[in-house]
Amino acid sequence: MRASIISLTAAFLWIAAHSSMAADISPTFDTSGIWSNGRDPGGYDYFQNGLDVKILNVNRGFASFYSGTYVSNTAIEGVWQRKNRSNGCITRMKMDIVVKSADEQTWKWTVLDSNCDLQKGKSGEDAVKRLKSVEYNLWY
The reported pTM is: 0.80
In this structure, of 81-95, 105-119, 123-137, the range with the lowest mean pLDDT score is: 123-137
Write out the DSSP string of the chain: -HHHHHHHHHHHHHHHHHHHHHHT---SS---EEEE-SSSSSPEEEEEETTEEEEEEE-SSEEEEEEEEEEETTEEEEEEEEEETTT--EEEEEEEEEE-SSSEEEEEEEE---SSSSPTT-EEEEEEEE-HHHHHTS--
Structural domain total, the chain: 1
- Residue 67 corresponds to which amino acid? S
How many Å separate Cα 29 from the centre of its chain?
15
Would you say residue 47 lies in a domain?
yes
- Per-residue confidence (pLDDT) for residue 132, from 0 to 100: 83
pLDDT in tens, 45-68: 999 999 999 999 999 999 999 999
Pairing of strands 33-36, 62-72: unpaired
pLDDT in tens, 58-107: 999 999 999 999 999 999 999 999 999 999 999 999 999 999 999 999 99
Can you give the residue range of the structural domain that contains 42? Answer: 27-136
pLDDT grade for 5, boundaries at 50, 70 and 90: low
Q: What is the CATH number of the domain that holds 38?
A: 2.40.128
